[in-house]
Structure 1
Amino acid sequence: MSRFAFLLFLVCAADAVAASDIRRLWLSFQREEPTHITVNWETEELGDSEVLFGISAALGGRIAKEEKVTLHHVEIPLSDKDAVYHYQVRSGGVASEVYTFKGMPKQELRAAVVGDWGFAQPDLSALIKDDVHVLMTAGDNVSSLHEKGREGTKAFSALIDSQPELFRSVPFMPILGNHDREIRSRGPKPPPEAVYDVEAAAYREFFALPGNEWNWVLSFPDFGARFAALDLEHIQDMGTTWQTGHPFDAACEQLAWYRKQMEPAHPGHTITLQNERNATMRGQLKGEWGRLFERGSAVITGFGYFAERAVVDGFPYYNTALKGNGDRYPDPKSAFFASEHSYVLLSFRPKAPMKIQIKSLAGEVLDEQVYPAK
């Protein structure tokens, strides 16, 4: 090899290493309405944050932050509906490829909810074909925060790496399960030190979500659709070193916040997302949690490894899991139950009923219901 060719090889190799510094990208909503989308990415080295964007490959828009971080969160405005947005991220002189995502729709909004991702290796081909505008979860997005090589935020990085194309093209809105803050092995009995980080520091650092991030609301006013995320899981362990989440008692911040979301009349549909067993949670505080749930249109949880729709006085409670062949905990009011790998698909049209389908990962519709707006 000539000296010139060798030098050219070194330059190209250096460029390849630099290009790989943009490690992963994902999208989320950081506001309570989708007027903006947040572009998130990680870099190996500290650097500034810049997003170029537009509704064509020419881009044209630019939002930049002068900062020195490895975890980047940059909001960009969404001004065009039914448009395909193009975007590119830059940091430390390194640029990603140009990627795309769908802007907000005019005719139909499709949202998918998955559960128990941390214990599944799912084939999401069917969900991807549904061409959803937002992907949400019902908790347990990772198996723990203490697995070797996946400590803390690295667990969430590994989740993003598992579906790179999906996460860089569809906004991702997770909620908390107990495993998303498990910093030590649980063991057979409560140890002297806390097993879970109640404040979910790693989760809140990694994801850019609305509000407190451990609970949040996301509304789509054009479709009368609203999602409320709660921090409810393993409530029987409250007050022990196994306590996973924020309190749910009568005087707690979480209940006051949820009451504020649910007690005013809201047009359309409110869907509550949580991670505790529906039958357990709705009876808490002499049924107060259940009464607040039922001011909305449905509750979706990821408590167990199965697909289910239960009905209580006409109100639907759903359970979903990407791993559907585990322990069975049927709701006493179960109307549909299947040991299937599943997800929930919700479809909304302006001033029209909401459709909720339980779908298998093979794409089969296992259960379908239509709900008029309250």
Structure 2
Amino acid sequence: MRLLLCFLVASSVCAAPIERIWLTHATNDPSKIVINWETAAPGDSVVEFGTSEALGQRVILEHKTKLHHVEIPLEQRDVVYHYRVRSGEDVSTVSSFKGYPSQELRIAIVGDWGYAPGKDVSAIVKDDVHLLLTAGDNVASLHEKGKEGTKAFSALIDANRDLFRRTPFMPILGNHDREVTSRGPKPPAQAVYDVEAAAYREFFALPGDEWKWHFDLPGFDLRFIALDLNHIQDFGTTWQTCHAWQPDSPQFQWFAETMAASTSGFVISLMNEKQTQVQGLTKGAWHEHFRQGSALITGFGYFADRAELSGGLRYYNTCLKGDGDLYKDPQSKFHARVDNYLLLILTAGAPTMKLQFKNLRGEVLDTSEVAKRKP
């Protein structure tokens, strides 16, 4: 039974419950968060929020839109925030999410969600993470019937509504996140991928250029740097998917400058490409900068893999669909063909961070530690 009473008068429209809601960060500042939602008709954007179910604070954007992004402040740690969204007569129920902690931070990283439809991710919910990131390929394509363009990302949110309305979500790009037509056995006449990732950037509110970004959690001395590296061998063909990656490209220069300017003890680079491919095609140019960080994480392969690269760089590959061909890294120290995700655990002030591969039953497959670097 619907809880909202609809008056059957000619001029009225029945209010609809707003159910597709997700949380992101649109800036590098963790003291702000974006509440995102969709409505069937254009309307204003209202977020009511507070540290109790009484709410008490409100942000209003008058601009009429179907895709709503409203940023609100997070002024406290170690509290639960409650919120409700409105657009015209449409309204959501009150939901909640945790503000960032002061003592222990838990972050989940998943890969290849687009090829793991229907997977039970309740283990991530049970881990009660403060932040959810990806290693790319969040959807299978942008051309499946009924899931064209931003509808593909809407379907991703719908499949895990409780997780996304309670956990800040920061994805990175894979090739499938911008695949606008079928790839085929050889490069066709038309471009297969939207390099600029317009639908992805419209749907998500992320820092910087959105196709690349960085995000800091200063309380835990942590920085993430998200890159647009995937299928780099196809650059210059109609199979080209990512932005330019060569050592003279703007993306490479941005990464080099961002890494050099990073003062965090833990700096993690995220991409959707095999590290040996990047190393080979750039003759190690990217790796000179990767090694300045703490770890490199990708979602390229359909398995779990942990490797120790030259210079002490830790490399991780994670995938929610872990039953693919196993082509482990040459420097692999752990690998498994099993559905998996990465759980990062940081304690404020601690000299190391813990990274665990877990299966979708929540069982720990592998544990490693990364020490703080010296910038």
Aligned partners of 2:19 and 2:92 also within 8 Å: no
| Distance in 2, Cα, partners of 1:173 & 1:223 | 18
| Distance in 2, Cα, partners of 1:255 & 1:267 | 20
Other-structure match for 2:166: 169
Aligned partners of 1:134 and 1:172 also within 8 Å: yes
Deviations 1:71-125 (A, max 9, x none): 0000000001100000000101222111100001010111110000001121112
> Measured at CA, do residues 347 and 12 of structure 1 come closer, stay the same or move farther in structure 2, by a change above 3 Å?
farther
Other-structure match for 1:367: 366
| Distance in 2, Cα, partners of 1:303 & 1:17 | 45
Other-structure match for 1:26: 22
Matched to 1:350, the amino acid is A
| Distance in 2, Cα, partners of 1:291 & 1:78 | 36
What SS class does the counterpart of residue 282 from structure 2 fall into?
A: helix
What SS class does the counterpart of residue 64 from structure 1 fall into?
A: strand
| Distance in 2, Cα, partners of 1:282 & 1:37 | 35
After superposition, residues 1-374 of structure 1 pair within 5 angstroms as: 11=7, 17-20=14-17, 22-120=18-116, 121-264=118-261, 266-313=263-310, 314-352=312-350, 353-374=352-373
Shift of 1:280: 1.5
| Distance in 1, Cα, partners of 2:110 & 2:8 | 41
Shift of 1:285: 2.4
Under a length normalisation based on structure 1, what TM-score does the superposition of the two structures give?
A: 0.95
What SS class does the counterpart of residue 202 from structure 2 fall into?
A: helix
| Distance in 1, Cα, partners of 2:316 & 2:241 | 22
Aligned partners of 2:6 and 2:14 also within 8 Å: no
Shift of 1:16: 10
Deviations 1:111-151 (A, max 9, x none): 11000000112111211111100000000000000000000
What SS class does the counterpart of residue 261 from structure 2 fall into?
A: coil
| Distance in 2, Cα, partners of 1:259 & 1:150 | 36
| Distance in 1, Cα, partners of 2:273 & 2:8 | 52
Under a length normalisation based on structure 2, what TM-score does the superposition of the two structures give?
A: 0.95
Aligned partners of 2:273 and 2:298 also within 8 Å: yes
| Distance in 1, Cα, partners of 2:317 & 2:13 | 45
| Distance in 2, Cα, partners of 1:111 & 1:13 | 49
Matched to 2:340, the amino acid is S
| Distance in 2, Cα, partners of 1:221 & 1:87 | 25
| Distance in 1, Cα, partners of 2:50 & 2:171 | 26
Structure 2: unaligned runs, 5 residues or longer: none
Deviations 1:322-359 (A, max 9, x none): 00001222111111010010000111112211111111
| Distance in 2, Cα, partners of 1:10 & 1:228 | 48
Matched to 2:33, the amino acid is I
Aligned partners of 1:138 and 1:273 also within 8 Å: yes
Matched to 1:97, the amino acid is T
Aligned partners of 1:277 and 1:303 also within 8 Å: yes
Shift of 1:282: 3.1
| Distance in 2, Cα, partners of 1:32 & 1:111 | 16
Aligned partners of 1:282 and 1:293 also within 8 Å: no
Deviations 1:252-296 (A, max 9, x none): 110011001112352310111100012211344221101111111
| Distance in 2, Cα, partners of 1:26 & 1:13 | 33
- Percent identical among aligned pairs is 58
| Distance in 2, Cα, partners of 1:16 & 1:127 | 39
Shift of 1:9: 8.2
Aligned partners of 1:225 and 1:348 also within 8 Å: no
Aligned partners of 2:48 and 2:57 also within 8 Å: yes
| Distance in 2, Cα, partners of 1:9 & 1:207 | 32
| Distance in 2, Cα, partners of 1:316 & 1:295 | 11
Matched to 1:373, the amino acid is K
| Distance in 2, Cα, partners of 1:265 & 1:191 | 41
Shift of 1:67: 0.8
Structure 1: unaligned runs, 5 residues or longer: 1-7
What SS class does the counterpart of residue 257 from structure 1 fall into?
A: helix
